[in-house]
Amino acid sequence: MVRTAALVAAAAAMLLNDVHAESLYSKKSSVLQISGVDYDRLIAKSNYTSIVEFYAPWCGHCKNLKPAFESAAKSLAGIAKVAAVNCDEEMNKPFCGQMGVQGFPTLKIVRPTKRVGKPSVEDYQGQRDAKSIVEAVKDKIPNAVKRVTDKKLDEWLESAGDGAKAILFSEKGLVSATMKTLAVDFAGLISLAQIRNKEAASVQKFGIKKFPTLILLPAGSSEPIVYDGEMKKEPMVAFLSQVAPPNPDCPPAKAKKTKAKKDTKKESKSSSKLSKASASHKSANASSAAASATDETVEEPIKATESPAANLKDGDAPEPVALPVETPKPTIPVLVESSQLQASCLNVQSKTCILAIIPKDESSEAATSVLASLASIHHKHDKRGSQLFPFVGVSASNPLASSILSGLSLGKEDDVHLIATNGKRSWYKKYSGKNFGQTEVEKWVDALRMGEGKKEKLPDNLLAAAKKVEAKEEKKAEDDVKIEIEEIVDDTPKHGEL
């Protein structure tokens, strides 16, 4: 064996990480599962306040937090977004780093500011039970509901002008999270105010008999329409929607995924795509009906249902788990086992991969140069948060190395050979340059991403049969996304600005 045991283990671990980065939350979970790529649109540009958990599936404290977090998500449905990012997924790692995540789980409350897409982000340091989380998030929801007294009523009516207005008459002075969220949903469409029962002149002016009562004054009208439904988010949204449909909470998803989506089987394999799809679905729901119903009433503060496991006392407050040590220089795995190579790139399900076949003399200039070029190209894309297919080195000691060389008639064993493979579509493309510097290699990679370059038929005998990899393939779901980029032009949001 040419490589040291440690390097081999590191390479294998990287690969396994990729393959087994399973999500902690199920697809049905009320927690919105997002990737670093989704964050910008679904959270940073949302008008809603969010709490985002950064976790790793293997972390014990993350597992302990799960029931409380899911319960918080249910309580906050329609009021705030509750999302989770799996930092163990290769594609999310740079994003988690940028967000300053240093241990798991890390909870951050993200709330919109006046500057769209530049939310304020702060760590949640409170107790990790559902009720504390729910209260902390509600506390952060910006309030655009004006509290109006008798003295100020005319002034407010005037300032709101001819536009539609809604007033909640209440025994309470505090503005509930539901009302705050209604103000977000109808920002720019309806001016919202809250008036207490003791403001006798206002109460009399609108003929209010009981509390709470919500009235709507359509544009240009002083004739109030009285709401007679329950003080719950969803029916209240429906009532106010007679003026105008609520604002979308976040920008719509880009309609770009279509091309790669024809193959539904492929789609179902790609859980990351799925989570994206379901995220946009959820947010579509959230925006259309301004999110789902909740049991919250305007007058009663919500009692978050606490799951038993969520009762962490002060004493056993979870210590964040340290993140795995960052490798100082970007590297790519150099695989020595044929099974690793088959699982990652050479099977009938695998999508585009880039393989650098390394000669026995791994310290040769070409070998070090190609590995360094590939690593820094991949690193660059990771940092941008853009997805890229796997880059893998194939050690000369890998039994498949010589099969590839002879099967594809690549030439001498002493040279470096750079190829792109696609097991599913059964093609490969050769890098014909002699120079493995970053600029040259990157040109070739970019051309590949655009679908350019001459395809040749990949011999079937180089690909592991489907059965052998099927089990792994299921688990590999998230990983597929990175491999699947071929047809997708790079317009993923950049996270540099975060």
Residues in touch with ligand NAG (CB under 6 A)? 47, 187-188, 247-248, 250-251, 278, 281-282, 285
Helix (H, G, I), strand (E, B) or coil at 194: strand
Q: How far is the CB of 296 from ligand NAG (least distance, A)?
A: 18
CB nearer ligand NAG, residue 188 or residue 328: 188
CB nearer ligand NAG, residue 77 or residue 335: 77
Q: How far is the CB of 282 from ligand NAG (least distance, A)?
A: 4
Of residues 168, 180, 167, the one with CA closest to residue 80: 180
Q: How far is the CB of 276 from ligand NAG (least distance, A)?
A: 12
Reduced to 3 DSSP states, what percent helix, strand and coil does the chain have, rounded to the nearest 5?
A: 40, 15, 45
Q: What is the Cα–Cα distance from 467 to 491, expressed in whole angstroms?
A: 35
CA–CA distances in Å: residue 119 to residues 55, 76, 139: 21, 19, 16
Amino acid making up residue 74 = K
Q: How many C-beta atoms lie closer than 10 Å to residue 242's C-beta?
A: 11
Q: How far is the CB of 385 from ligand NAG (least distance, A)?
A: 20
CB nearer ligand NAG, residue 285 or residue 339: 285
CB nearer ligand NAG, residue 189 or residue 447: 189
Q: How far is the CB of 278 from ligand NAG (least distance, A)?
A: 6
CB nearer ligand NAG, residue 198 or residue 281: 281
Q: Which residues of 221-241 are buried (b: 16+ CB within 10 A; e: fewer)?
A: eeebeebeeebbbbebbebbb
Instruction: Copy the structure tokens of residue 109.
Output: 């409350």
Q: What is the Cα–Cα distance from 448 to 64, expressed in whole angstroms?
A: 43
Q: How far is the CB of 190 from ligand NAG (least distance, A)?
A: 11
Q: How far is the CB of 144 from ligand NAG (least distance, A)?
A: 9
Looking at the DSSP bridge assignments, the partners of residue 358 are: none
**Based on the number of CB atoms within 10 Å of its own CB, is 45 exposed (0-12), middle (13-18) or buried (19 or more)?**
middle
CB nearer ligand NAG, residue 235 or residue 251: 251
Looking at the DSSP bridge assignments, the partners of residue 122 are: 109
Looking at the DSSP bridge assignments, the partners of residue 166 are: 192, 216
Q: What is the Cα–Cα distance from 185 to 174, expressed in whole angstroms?
A: 19
Q: What is the Cα–Cα distance from 394 to 416, expressed in whole angstroms?
A: 10
CB nearer ligand NAG, residue 188 or residue 315: 188
C-alpha angle 269-271-272 in degrees, rounded to nearest 5: 130
Q: How far is the CB of 323 from ligand NAG (least distance, A)?
A: 31
Q: How far is the CB of 40 from ligand NAG (least distance, A)?
A: 12
CB nearer ligand NAG, residue 121 or residue 189: 189
Let me know: does 236 contact 173? Beta carbons within 8 Å: no
CB nearer ligand NAG, residue 35 or residue 340: 35
